[in-house]
Structure formats: structure tokens, C-alpha cells
Amino acid sequence: MDATARADLIRRYAEGPALLRAALAKVPAEALKWRPAPKKWSVHEVIIHCADSETNSHMRLRYLLAEKDPVIVGYDQDVWAGVLDYHNLPLEPALTTVEAVRANTVPLLKSLPESAWSRTGRHTESGTYGVEQWMNIYAEHLEIHARQIERNLAAWQKK
């Protein structure tokens, strides 16, 4: 990955929380916990998932950068949503968590030396996992969920 592509991914990563918050702002309160289908997440669950995912990603990057032989632990996001009862967790602290984690990570990403981008570890589910792969995944992560929120809202409006 060259410096231009990397800078674009960091920009997208930094802009993710605003996209998520903007998508959520369009959702009326009565639509927040509506599910578009069985086993599909509500908007509320999407936001709580984002907080959990972002806190995991925050540590994943740091393990990749700082540990000698990093192991990145996978988790079942659907199990977390059920066991942790996402519908009963508050939205605003989750959004604040997403914003804080990203605000804390953007300066780190911008300051990484070239050598850091080639660091790798082992993911318990997918094998070799590196900083560049991390960047590609998480630059897009909140974009994906902002679009999911928009789709949920559109489906709710059609019901």
C-alpha cells in the first residue's frame, strides 16, 4: 500500500464516526429497535456492535504494533449481541465510545513509521493478520454500518 492509499484509508477511518452519527440521526425513536428480519440487527444493535467492534479494533492494532508475536482473538458478534443484550445497552455511550476510540487511534495511524505497516500477527480465525489488513477492514467498517442503518430505516418506512 502506498502513502496516498494509506492516507485515504486513514481519512475514511477518521470520518467513520460522523457517518454513523449522521445515519443514526435520521432514525425515529420508534424504529431504533425494529429488526428488518429474524436474526438481523436493529439500528440500536448496530450501534452497540460498533462500540464493541471499535474497542476490539483499538486493541488489535496496538497488539500488532507493540507485541513480539501478536495473537488477535476473534469473537462471534452475533453471540455478543445476544448474550450482552444489546437492546438494553444505552446508545449515546456507545457512540461516544466509537468517537473516542477513533479519535485516539487516528494520531497513532498518522505517526506510524513505514516499517510498522508491514507488521503482522496471527488471527485465531483467519490466520495471518497485519496492520495493512487491519486498516482496510476498519476504514470501511463504520461506512458499512452507516449504510446498514440507512437500509434498516428504508425497510422500516416501507413496512
What gap in Å lies between CA 85 and CA 44, rounded to an integer? 11
Three-state SS sequence of the chain: CCHHHHHHHHHHHHHHHHHHHHHHHCCCHHHCCCCCCCCCCCHHHHHHHHHHHHHHHHHHHHHHHHCCCCEECCCCHHHHHHHCCHHHCCHHHHHHHHHHHHHHHHHHHHHCCHHHHHCEEEECCCEEEEHHHHHHHHHHHHHHHHHHHHHHHHHHHHC
Classified by CATH at the fold level, domain 3-158 comes out as Four Helix Bundle (Hemerythrin (Met), subunit A) (1.20.120)
Q: pLDDT band at residue 1, thresholds of 50, 70 and 90? A: confident
Domain boundaries, the chain: 3-158
Q: pLDDT band at residue 159, thresholds of 50, 70 and 90? A: confident
Residue 65 contacts residue 119 (beta carbons within 8 Å): yes
For the segment 27-61, what is each residue's pLDDT rounded down to a tens digit? Answer: 999 999 999 999 999 999 999 999 999 999 999 99
Q: Residue 81 has what pLDDT?
A: 96
What gap in Å lies between CA 117 and CA 113, rounded to an integer? 7
For the segment 109-140, what is each residue's pLDDT rounded down to a tens digit? Answer: 999 999 999 999 999 999 999 999 999 999 99
